[in-house]
Structure 1
Amino acid sequence: MKQVVQSYKTGEVALRDVPVPQCGTKRILVRNQHSLISLGTERSTIELGRKSLLGKAAARPDLVRRAWDKAKKEGLLKTWQEAMGRLDTPTPLGYSGAGVVEQCGLAATEFSPGDRVACVGQGFASHADFVAIPVNLACKIPKEVSSEEAAFGMLGIIALHGIRSANLTFGSRIVVMGLGLLGLLTIQMLRAYGCEVIAIDPAQDKADLARRLGFAHITTDSAELDTLCNHVTGGVGADAVIITASTKDRGPVDQAVQLSRPKGRIVVVGVADIHPDRNELWQKEVDLVVSKAAGPGSVDPVYEIEGVDLPIGEVRWTQKRNLQEFLRLVADKKVDVQSLITHRFDIAQAESVYTQFVAGELVQPIGVLLTYPDQALIERHLPITSVLANKKSPSASVSVGVIGAGLFGKALLLPALQSQTDVALHTLVTGSGASVEHSARKFGFANQATESSAVWQNPEIDAVVGLTPHSNHAKLVSQAIEHGKALFLEKPLCTTEDELAQLREQAAAAEALPIIFVGHNRRYSPHTVQMLKWLATRQAPLVLQMRINTGFVPASHWVHSEDEGRSRVVGEMSHFIDLIQCLARASIVRVAAERISGDNSSTVNNDNIALSFKLDDGSVGSMIYSASGDKAYSREMTEMFFDGKTIVSRDFRVSELHKGGKTETFKTSSQEMGYAQELKAFVDCVRGRTVADVSTTEMFSTMDVIFAIEYALATGQSVSPSATRVMSA
């Protein structure tokens, strides 16, 4: 299919051939008929993308500060790689369209194939032949409304939420500043709800269009706006001023204060410099509000992605209910959308359209629509033809398919995989067509796909690398066992005890198990290798202490979601359990753990724990895992005491052996976490050069320890990992 994407790194806008996205359980697959170019939003996105690195830094100094703190802790090279990975992520353009449902997810029961639907949402309702839309970002189109009109949905509900933010009543007198698409929709809705409108735009053509729509109090002159407002309101002032313009000037906000009545309200829907004079605001007690997107639920992943609606008794006008109301207004002829359409282009013309748009060569654009042919095929496997593919050769004897390519994978693991001389990159699979096409070209894959069967069912592929969200990990392990393909899986192995039990059963029933690596990369770090050399002659049990300053992650983040990440204990701590067992060359047989009793919001209780453990060789240890510290401070430290010696390792940059009053030091120029070494070990195992360091049974046992920690936290008692299987049965 065709899709319009922008490179945030270069600002280039391109029309790409990408695979059709998967539908998803709580989504619908929609064949686009029309999508609307949002002139203001998309122009600002493109202009930011075209800035130099210094320009981008100047525009987002907050991100620069965070990157600098990260560099001090984890090294400049790693931080630079991650930052470049973020910049190199393609941005799908568009967030408003309409079309026909082709497929429905199993939980998307309010829709059926063939339904006409309006679609909204950044990253969802894109300029593409097909889009996968979460159920709360789509609604059926009334029969009186065309798909062209419904394609204005996102702009309509942004305008509608701006009106709601003004807290108006019938007969209110409102000033609207800016008569672009948002402004023209806003004034029509205000009239539909019984409000008197005064409006301004410096462009004569837009003012004339507003007059043709039946509005009398329209001007292009800011001085005349004062006179109009004074006349219409009887000298009292406007009940509200809604700013739909996009400007870097503070003039609109300053004038809005002057135009407002005492205790009036200013709502910024567009973009303006918000630095009003405090005394002016104080004199009138004017409220100043910035309207957020399209209503409650906007940019909330629980609402938008997981499809959890907000109760109507608590929240009357959500994003979706605003969309339904906008379509009702169009159906009832209260809002005229057809008069706002100034340009129509076929999707095949998209690149030239954007070139004209950015250059200012489109003549008086307001409503610019892209139209789509109805013969596009649903294709989810496509070759990469624009790059020289990484072909399999005798020296590159392992053909690899990769499932998933998030920021972490693109910044660290995929470059490390690409650098392996024994690997041919066969197929990359992600859920997003734009993302998979870009990453497949960048890293030299021969093929791109949006469904995992392209990897599992292809006999040419020897091994699979899984970089998906945590909730999908158990499925990947199950498929690896079922298809007999080697699997490298980012941690954790699974997220629930039920999944672990099912994997154990499947592994026990299998005639032979494939090679399975879980991404516990720390055991492959040069620092771990050095520490194991220092530990090689150990005679007595270890006393081991580990501290992880992991950094705060909000309670709303997906890693804490029961359906997605479950917790950071499950999602992240297996890294450290594996490292402890690797260093001690022993297994943890008992754990005790306590968490803080905080507010579970500003400090997430389960992210701040003290853990003690006993190993089967007699060693003991403790772990402090905290998300309450300074992110710029050292992240990880390990200390081991044994045989009159001490080993200290800090952040996989400096490791020391203290012995007999002398210190032996091992340093690396930057953080060495073992990513490349782990992938090499995996490839060597697939080629038959070596055997895996960790057996499948040991991987299962590591997850037993993780679930034992959860039980210990819940009960306040010491727990044996083997006992958790009995408790969960």
Structure 2
Amino acid sequence: MKIIAQNYSNGNLEMLEIPMITSRSGLLVETTASLVSVGTEKAMIDVAKKSLIGKALARPDWVRQVIDKVKTEGLMEAWRQSKARLDMPVPLGYSCAGIVREVNNTEDDFRVGDSVACSGSGYASHAEWNVVPPNLCVKIPDNVSFEDASYVALGGIAMEAVRLAEPEFGHKIGVIGLGLLGQLAVQILRTAGCHVVGIDISAQKCELALKHGAEAVAVTGKDDPVAIANDFSGHAGLDAVIILASVDSDEPLIQAAGMCRERGKIIAGGLIGLNIPRQAFFEKELYFAVSKAWGPGMFDPDYEERGFKYPIAYARWTAQRNMDEFLRMLSLGRISLSDITTHRFSFEKALDAYRLILSGKEPAIGVVLHYPEHDNRPEVADERMTRILQTGPVKQQAKISGVSAGLIGAGLFARGTLLPALKKVSGITLTGVASSRGLSGKNLADSYKFRYATTDYRELLKDDNINMVFILTRHNSHKKFVCEALKAGKAVFVEKPLCINKDELKEIIDTYLSLVTNDSTPFLMVGFNRRFAPATRQCIEFIGQAKKSSVVQIRCNAGYIPAESWVHKKDEGGGRIIGEVCHFVDLAQAITGGTPAKVFASCTESSQGVRDNLTISMKMDNGAAVAITYASNGDKSFQREEVQVFAGGAVCVINNFKSVDFISSGKQRVKKSLEVDRGHIGEIKATCDALKNGNPSPIDFKSLIATTLATFAIEESITTGEAVEVKTELF
């Protein structure tokens, strides 16, 4: 299948061939038409084409994130992570229409064959196929064309901006910016019984607004918009001004303040400067709001990804309801798009559409991409079979020498952490990469010279050329992939955690033990990298045999993650104790040489049930004592991690895995590194060396189980307020 994507590193636009997308949930939609959002997409492209300095000036929020990363992770790690983000291709488009071909794991009233309009960045892309969450889809009325329905997201944006202005019958309202959104807003306001004055730099767009129901217009640069608006309102001032312009300036906001009556409303739905002119706002006591895309639910993972429905009594107009109402207005003929659609291109000529928009040679308002007729396409079943795409030479190996890797998951961790580590270890062949949406996997395969990319992970499991599978997906999928990969006879490396609950752990244990024979043991490794850090190895060597009676203090300044993140969801990320504290439980095992026997934990209160500010006391089975402090409410600029070990009359302190203090017999020495090294390269080398040499996994199976059980016990201790034994013998 084909998709339009942009490389944010160099700004290049490409039509890419990627493996057919797949998903376990949502609607698989065959695209018939998609709308190019001229203002938003052009702004994205303009930023992407800037130099690094230009990007920094355009997005100072990115710069702050990089600076924080440099402080805690070091310059090189910050560079790797930043480069990984910039190198990830971005699919363009967020508004389309098409036909439902599959319905997966949803209780919504959608059926195969339904005509639907879809929205959402990363969902309703300019692509031949899209997988879209049900809450971002609506059915298309019979008398609305696919072309008109493809405007659904932009219609929702205009409608939400109008709703925030709270128009009443007879209100006089200004619309600044008469591009696509502005033209839609004019028609919506006219339908609501409002009197509209439009303002734009283009005389042609002003004329079009008059045709759509505006009663007066002002051409910026030629007319005085404030004077015209005041005349239009009888010098009382406008009841509201909706700004739908896209300009890097505060001028629209200043103009709007001059146009409004006292206690009027200003709604910003466009990309403008937001330096509010305080005096004007103070004198008129103006109300100001920034509209959020096409309504409540947007950018809320519970709504978009998990299908949560906002009760109509508390959120009358959600994103989906705004989309549905826009299509209803189209169906009733109250909104016309015939004069707004200025250009039509076949999907194969999509790059020509962008060249036209970027050149500015022709005024473009509504640009629609049309996809091949269904009858002229390959059979759906045949196209779905193309879920594997060769990106390198096909080579059948009689026998694997070394490590031949297959990756399940192609996100930021794979790109920014794991693959750079893999490339530094010799004897590894990168064979296949699987990702559900295809684009990230295809890009990763091209960048790192994998032989193929696929959207069906089972291709990796049945590939005899692969002997190790790396699982780098969300936590709730780990158990499934671990068990299937082990059964397929693959060595398995799964990024932490091993799983997220006891039932999953029992299934992994049962699978593992069922494969144990007199001659072989399954190879299972979990990405607990800190035990492989040079600083950890130096600490263990320094403490020596005294580790059995050691006292260990581990502190992590973890940083804040919003409560709505998937990481905190018990059925998806498992929470930060299971998903992240596991690192430090494993580190404690490595340093002390013992396994957790009993834990007691306490946590600060959270109104949203988030457990990420806690202290843990852990007794090891060999007598060592461990205390872990894990906090998300600290300052990001402070070093992320510190480990203090007291044993045998000596003290060892690991400072953020960049330096180590050794104190003994009244003397202190310090060993420093140029960069933070949390052990990723050492971990990968140890894992691959073990597999190549026919040795067991670098972390034994019992230790992996003990770490996982300890995190479950920590959760239980917080809930009960009591110490909890870690009973590995039950498994």
Alpha-carbon displacement from aligned partner over 1:293-329 (angstroms, at most 9, x marks no partner): 1110111111111111110010000000000000000
Q: For residue 473 of structure 1, what is the aligned residue in structure 2? A: 478
Q: For residue 242 of structure 2, what is the aligned residue in structure 1? A: 242
How far apart are the structure 2 equivalents of 1:492 and 1:120? Answer: 33
1:539 Cα shift?
7.7
SS state of the match for residue 612, structure 1?
strand
1:698 Cα shift?
2.4
Pair 1:267 & 2:271 matched: no
How far apart are the structure 2 equivalents of 1:312 and 1:439? Answer: 43
2:565 to 554, 557, 565: 557
Pair 1:691 & 2:690 matched: no
How far apart are the structure 2 equivalents of 1:420 and 1:223? Answer: 67
1:411 to 408, 416, 423: 416
Rate the CA distance shift 1:415–1:392 in 2: closer, same or farther, 3 A.
farther
Alpha-carbon displacement from aligned partner over 1:16-42 (angstroms, at most 9, x marks no partner): 0011221332x1010000000000000
Q: Percent identity?
A: 36
Alpha-carbon displacement from aligned partner over 1:470-524 (angstroms, at most 9, x marks no partner): 1111112111222121111100000011111222222233344421100001111
1:63 Cα shift?
2.4
Q: For residue 492 of structure 2, what is the aligned residue in structure 1? A: 487
Alpha-carbon displacement from aligned partner over 1:47-104 (angstroms, at most 9, x marks no partner): 0001111111112223222322321222111111111111111111000000000111
2:535 to 527, 533, 539: 527
1:670 Cα shift?
1.0
Rate the CA distance shift 1:693–1:723 in 2: closer, same or farther, 3 A.
closer
Q: How does 1:104-183 map to 2 (within 5 A)?
A: 104-183=103-182
1:636 Cα shift?
1.6
How far apart are the structure 1 equivalents of 2:117 and 2:527? Answer: 42
Q: Which amino acid aligns with 2:524?
A: I
Q: Which amino acid aligns with 2:247?
A: T
Please say which of residues 692-701 and 322-331 is displaced more in the overlay: 692-701
SS state of the match for residue 623, structure 1?
strand
How far apart are the structure 1 equivalents of 2:688 and 2:586? Answer: 20
How far apart are the structure 2 equivalents of 1:605 and 1:108? Answer: 28
Q: For residue 536 of structure 1, what is the aligned residue in structure 2? A: 544
Report if aligned partners of 1:466, 1:489 keep a CA contact under 8 Å in 2: yes
Aligned length: 720
2:646 to 632, 641, 647: 641
Q: Which amino acid aligns with 2:165?
A: A
How far apart are the structure 2 equivalents of 1:17 and 1:216? Answer: 48
Report if aligned partners of 1:20, 1:378 keep a CA contact under 8 Å in 2: yes
How far apart are the structure 2 equivalents of 1:542 and 1:69? Answer: 33
Q: For residue 675 of structure 2, what is the aligned residue in structure 1? A: 670
Q: Which amino acid aligns with 1:36?
A: L
How far apart are the structure 2 equivalents of 1:499 and 1:123? Answer: 30
How far apart are the structure 1 equivalents of 2:655 and 2:491? Answer: 33
Alpha-carbon displacement from aligned partner over 1:95-124 (angstroms, at most 9, x marks no partner): 000000011112254111110000001111
Report if aligned partners of 2:341, 2:366 keep a CA contact under 8 Å in 1: yes
Q: For residue 354 of structure 1, what is the aligned residue in structure 2? A: 354
Q: For residue 378 of structure 1, what is the aligned residue in structure 2? A: 384
Q: Which amino acid aligns with 2:686?
A: A
Q: For residue 516 of structure 1, what is the aligned residue in structure 2? A: 524
Rate the CA distance shift 1:581–1:230 in 2: closer, same or farther, 3 A.
closer
How far apart are the structure 1 equivalents of 2:405 and 2:192? Answer: 60
TM-score of the aligned structures, taking structure 1 as reference length: 0.95
Report if aligned partners of 1:384, 1:440 keep a CA contact under 8 Å in 2: no
How far apart are the structure 2 equivalents of 1:108 and 1:417? Answer: 42
Report if aligned partners of 1:253, 1:276 keep a CA contact under 8 Å in 2: yes
How far apart are the structure 2 equivalents of 1:182 and 1:67? Answer: 34
Report if aligned partners of 1:560, 1:567 keep a CA contact under 8 Å in 2: yes
TM-score of the aligned structures, taking structure 2 as reference length: 0.94
1:355 Cα shift?
2.3
Report if aligned partners of 1:229, 1:238 keep a CA contact under 8 Å in 2: yes
1:429 Cα shift?
0.8
SS state of the match for residue 157, structure 2?
helix
Q: Which amino acid aligns with 1:632?
A: S
Rate the CA distance shift 1:108–1:536 in 2: closer, same or farther, 3 A.
same
How far apart are the structure 1 equivalents of 2:425 and 2:397? Answer: 13
How far apart are the structure 2 equivalents of 1:613 and 1:224? Answer: 72
Alpha-carbon displacement from aligned partner over 1:335-372 (angstroms, at most 9, x marks no partner): 001221111111111223222321223x2211101111
Q: For residue 34 of structure 1, what is the aligned residue in structure 2? A: 33
Q: How does 1:717-728 map to 2 (within 5 A)?
A: 717-722=722-727
1:463 Cα shift?
1.0
Q: For residue 468 of structure 2, what is the aligned residue in structure 1? A: 463
Q: How does 1:162-561 map to 2 (within 5 A)?
A: 162-220=161-219, 223=223, 225-226=225-226, 228-361=228-361, 363-373=362-372, 374=374, 375=377, 377-385=383-391, 397-512=402-517, 513-538=521-546, 541-561=549-569
Report if aligned partners of 1:711, 1:724 keep a CA contact under 8 Å in 2: no
1:605 Cα shift?
6.1
Pair 1:575 & 2:583 matched: yes
Q: Which amino acid aligns with 1:585?
A: G
Report if aligned partners of 1:118, 1:139 keep a CA contact under 8 Å in 2: yes
How far apart are the structure 2 equivalents of 1:305 and 1:620? Answer: 42
Q: Which amino acid aligns with 2:592?
A: A
SS state of the match for residue 384, structure 2?
coil
Report if aligned partners of 1:429, 1:436 keep a CA contact under 8 Å in 2: yes
How far apart are the structure 1 equivalents of 2:55 and 2:545? Answer: 53
Please say which of residues 205-214 and 484-493 is displaced more in the overlay: 205-214
How far apart are the structure 2 equivalents of 1:561 and 1:122? Answer: 22
Q: Which amino acid aligns with 2:280?
A: E
Alpha-carbon displacement from aligned partner over 1:423-480 (angstroms, at most 9, x marks no partner): 1111111122221111111111111111211111222211100110111111121112
1:330 Cα shift?
0.2
How far apart are the structure 1 equivalents of 2:656 and 2:224? Answer: 65
Rate the CA distance shift 1:659–1:453 in 2: closer, same or farther, 3 A.
same
1:403 Cα shift?
0.5
How far apart are the structure 1 equivalents of 2:466 and 2:390? Answer: 16
Q: For residue 48 of structure 2, what is the aligned residue in structure 1? A: 49
- Give RMSD over aligned pairs: 2.2
1:235 Cα shift?
2.9
1:593 Cα shift?
1.3
1:390 Cα shift?
9.6
Q: How does 1:643-662 map to 2 (within 5 A)?
A: 643-662=648-667
Alpha-carbon displacement from aligned partner over 1:575-610 (angstroms, at most 9, x marks no partner): 11111111111111111111124x446xx8621212
Report if aligned partners of 2:548, 2:594 keep a CA contact under 8 Å in 1: no
How far apart are the structure 1 equivalents of 2:388 and 2:621? Answer: 51
Report if aligned partners of 1:392, 1:423 keep a CA contact under 8 Å in 2: no
Q: For residue 623 of structure 2, what is the aligned residue in structure 1? A: 618
SS state of the match for residue 338, structure 1?
coil
SS state of the match for residue 611, structure 2?
helix
Rate the CA distance shift 1:662–1:283 in 2: closer, same or farther, 3 A.
closer
SS state of the match for residue 41, structure 1?
helix
Q: For residue 84 of structure 2, what is the aligned residue in structure 1? A: 85
1:333 Cα shift?
0.3
Rate the CA distance shift 1:544–1:230 in 2: closer, same or farther, 3 A.
closer
How far apart are the structure 2 equivalents of 1:134 and 1:585? Answer: 47
Please say which of residues 510-519 and 583-592 is displaced more in the overlay: 510-519
Report if aligned partners of 1:522, 1:528 keep a CA contact under 8 Å in 2: yes
Q: For residue 21 of structure 1, what is the aligned residue in structure 2? A: 21
Report if aligned partners of 1:264, 1:286 keep a CA contact under 8 Å in 2: yes
Alpha-carbon displacement from aligned partner over 1:224-268 (angstroms, at most 9, x marks no partner): 645553454333221111111222233322222222122111111
Q: For residue 585 of structure 1, what is the aligned residue in structure 2? A: 593
